[in-house]
Chain A
Amino acid sequence: MLYREAGQYKSSYTADMAVFPLREDRIGLGIILLIAFLVIPLVSTPFFIGSVMLPFLVFSLAAVGLNILTGYTGLLSLGTAGFMGVGAYACYKLTTLFPGVNIIVWIFVSGFFSAAVGAIFGLPSLRIKGFYLAVATLAAQFFLQWCFIRIPWLYNYNVSGAIEVPTRTLFGVPITGPTSSVETRYLVALTIVVVLTWFASNLVHGRVGRMWMAVRDMDIAAELMGLNLLRTKLLAFAVSSFYAGVAGALLVFLWLGGAEAGDVFNIRQSFLILFMVIIGGLGSLIGSFMGAAFISALPTILKFGLPAIGIPIAGATAEHLNLMVIGGLIIFFLIVEPHGLARLWQIAKQKLRVWPFPY
C-alpha cells in the first residue's frame, strides 16, 4: 500500500535509468543513512559500535570488493584476505614514512597498492577459469601471508611482529591509535564505506559493469563482441583488490588498532568473505551488506544469544558448538535460498509492491 510506483511519473531518461527509481526506496535509503550517521553514534554503546558495527562495515567493504570480482565478473577468488593485508601494510608503511599526510589519503592510496598486486595475481585468470583459478588465487593468499611474516621491513622491524597503529588526526581529532574514540572511528569508516559503495554502484551500473557482466556470462562471447578480455578481467581484479585493500586498512587502523598478519589476514578470512558474498547474493551490492551483517554478527549472536535462551554453554564447548551451528547454517541457507539474501529482499519488495491486492 505504501510501497508502490503508482503516481510517480518519469519525465526524463535519467529518471528512468535511476538506481532507485522508487521514491520510497530513496526515502528508505535516506533513513538508513540517517540512522547510521546520527542515531547509532549517539545512542548505542561503544561496545556495540566497536564489536558489531565496525566489523560489519569493514567486511561489507571487502565483500563489495569480492562481489565485483566474483559476482559481477564471475572470477572466483580465494585471496581476498591477502589483498586486504596488502592494503593494511601499505597504509602502515606510508603513514610511518610520511606522517605529515592525512591518514585518510593514505587509506585510499593503499588501495591502489593492493590493486596493483591484485592485477598481477589476476594475470592467470586470462588462461584459467573456475576452480582452477580459485586455487591459483590461493597462491596469492599464501604468498602474501608469507610476506607479511617474513619481511620485517613491512612492519618496521617491530619486536611484536605486528602493526602498531600510530595516532593520526583529522581536523585535530584523533581518528586512529589508542586515544581515538570509537565513535569517531566509526564515523570515518562509515563515510569511507558509503563513498566507496556509491562509487561501486556507479561502476556496476555503467559501461564497466556491463563489460564485467558480459565476461561473467560468457567470456568467449564477450571477446567476440569486441571486449578486451585482458583489460576487463584485470580491471575487475584491480578494482576488487582496491576495495579489499581499503577494507584491510580500515580493519587494522580503525577497528583492531594493530594486527598480527597470521591471525587476521589468513585463509579463513578469505573464505568467510567469499561466504558473505554468496550468502548475500552474487552480483548484488546490497547483498554484500546483508551477507556481511549476517556472517559478522553470527558469532556474537551465538555467543550471547544461546545462553540468553537458556542453553548454558562453557567456553570450549561454546566454540565447538559455534562451529557446528555456523556450518549447519551455511548448508541450510544454501539449500533454502541459493541465490542469497538479496533474492529474498527482492521477492519481499515484489510482494510488497502488490500488497494487499496481489491480483
Chain B
Amino acid sequence: MADSAAVASRKPLIDRRVTKALRVPLILAGIAILLVLLVQGGVIARGNLVYNVLVDPFVLMVEAPDLLLQTLWEGLVAGVLYALIALGFVLIYKASGVFNFAQGIMVVFAALTLVGLHEKGVPAFLALGLAIGVMFLLAVAVERVVLRPLVNQPDIILFMATFGLTYFLVGLGESIFGGNPKVMITDQLFLPRGATDLEVFGGRVTIQHLDVAAAVIATIMIAVLAVFFQYTRIGRALRAVADSHKAALSVGISLNQIWVVVWFAAGVVALVTGIMWGARSDVSFALEIIAFKALPVLILGGFTSIPGAIIGGLIIGIGEKLGEFYWGPLLGGGIETWFAYVIALIFLLFRPQGLFGEKIIERV
C-alpha cells in the first residue's frame, strides 16, 4: 500500500502538462517519419493512390512555396469572412439562445438594401446609414413579432421560426429590389481596388487590395465589438444575459431590449460582411450559400464563443482552400461544399462542444 502511494506521488520526469501538449506534435512527427520510411521502402511509389493522397500534395507545397502562400492568403481572407458570418450567429445565440438560420440571408438583405438604395439615387454614405437603419428596424420587428411571442419555446421551434424569417426576407428583398444580381458600390464607399504582386520565393503572390481592406475592417470591427461588450453598460448587461437569462431578469435587465441590441449588432455585422462579400462577387440571393459555409465554423468554434468563431473561421477558410487546391483534383473538384464539414467533424470527434464552447455537463 505505502509503496504504491509513493510510486503515485513520485514526480514524473517531465511535467504532465508538457507531455500532454507535446502529444499532438509527437504523433504528427511519428506519422511523418513513418511516411518517409514508407516512401523509402517503396511501399508508396510515385503515381499510386496512397502517394497521391499522402505525399504528393506536400511535395507540391515545398516545391512551389509561392502557390502555397497564395492559397494560404486566399484561405485567410475567406476565413475572415466566414468568421464574420459566424460572429453574427454567435452574438445572437449567446444572448437569446436562438440558432439564427437567417444570418446568411441578413447578410444578403443588408447588402441588397445598400446597393438597391444607391441605385435609386441615394448617395453612398447616406445609403449606408439607411441600411443600418433598416437593420435596426429589422431587429425591432424580429424581437416584436418572432421572439417575444415565442419566448420559452423549445430551441427547435425558434430555429424553425428563423427559417421562416429566411423565406420572408428572401421574398421581401426580391420583391423590393428585384432578383437580378447587383454590383457592390466599392468605389463610392472608398474601398480600394486593384492588386499588388509580391515577389516571394521566386514566384508571384497576388494580393487583392480589397482583401486586405476586408481583413483590416473585420479586425477593427471585432475589436470594437469586444470593447463594446467589455466596457459599456449594455455590453455588460448582454454578458449577464448570456450567462443566465433568469438571473439577468431578476436584477432588472430588460431581455427585450437586449434582444433588439443583439439582433441589431448581428445586423451591422451582416451589413459589413455583405459589403465585403458583395465586393468579391455580385450581390444576389445566391450568396445565401455562404450561410452554410459558416455553419461548420460554428460547430468548430463552439456556438457560444466569439474567439471560437474567429479562429474556427480561419481554420475552416485555410483548410478548405488547401483541401480544394491540393486534394480537390483527386476527387474531381467541387469538394468545397462539404470539405469544411469534414474538417469540423474531425475536430468534433475530439471536442464535442467545439474548440471553445462551454463544457457540456449533463446530469440525470
Contact = CB atoms under 8 A, between A and B. Distances in A.
B167 interface: yes
A328 B168 contact: yes
A124 B171 contact: no
A358 B83 CA distance: 58
Contact of A334 (B161, B342, B345): B161
Contacts of B341: 135-136, 138-139, 142-143
A267 B364 contact: no
B61 to A, nearest CB: 25
Given A124-B349, A331-B146, A143 B165 contact: no
Interface stretch (B208-216, B231-239, B290-298): B290-298
Contact of B99 (A131, A142, A319, A321): A131
Contact of B157 (A135, A328, A338): A338
B160 A334 contact: yes
Contacts of B179: 316, 320
Interface string B94-133: 0000010000000000000000000000000000000000
A120 interface: no
A330 B348 contact: no
A156 to B, nearest CB: 17
A345 B159 CA distance: 24
A139 B155 contact: no
Contacts of A129: 352, 360
Interface in B153-174: 153-157, 159-161, 163-172, 174
Interface residues of A, number: 47
Contacts of A267: 292
A321 B175 contact: yes
A327 B150 contact: no
Contact of A321 (B153, B171, B334): B171
Contact of A275 (B160, B172, B295, B338): B160
A220 B146 CA distance: 33
B149 A335 contact: yes
Contacts of B354: 132
A142 B156 contact: no
Contacts of B331: 150
Nearest to B99: A131
Give the interface residue-count category, chain B. Answer: 35 or more
B296 A323 contact: no
B156 A145 contact: no
Interface in A265-310: 267, 271, 274-275, 278, 282
Nearest to B300: A135
Contacts of B153: 334, 338
Contacts of B21: none
Contacts of B332: 150
B303 interface: yes
A76 interface: yes
A325 B338 CA distance: 31
B167 A330 contact: yes
Given A338-B153, A338-B157, A124 B348 contact: yes
26 contacts: A124-B345, A124-B348, A127-B352, A128-B299, A129-B352, A131-B303, A135-B298, A142-B337, A142-B341, A145-B337, A146-B337, A275-B160, A278-B157, A316-B179, A319-B174, A320-B175, A321-B175, A323-B167, A324-B172, A327-B169, A327-B170, A329-B164, A331-B146, A334-B160, A335-B146, A335-B150
Given A127-B349, A136-B344, A224-B364, 9 more contacts: A143-B338, A278-B157, A326-B164, A327-B164, A327-B169, A329-B164, A334-B160, A335-B161, A338-B154
Interface of A: 70, 76, 124, 127-132, 135-136, 138-139, 142-143, 145-146, 149-150, 218, 220-221, 224, 267, 271, 274-275, 278, 282, 316-317, 319-331, 334-335, 338
Can you list the 4 inter-chain pairs with the closest CB atoms, starting with the nearest? A327-B168, A330-B164, A327-B167, A323-B171
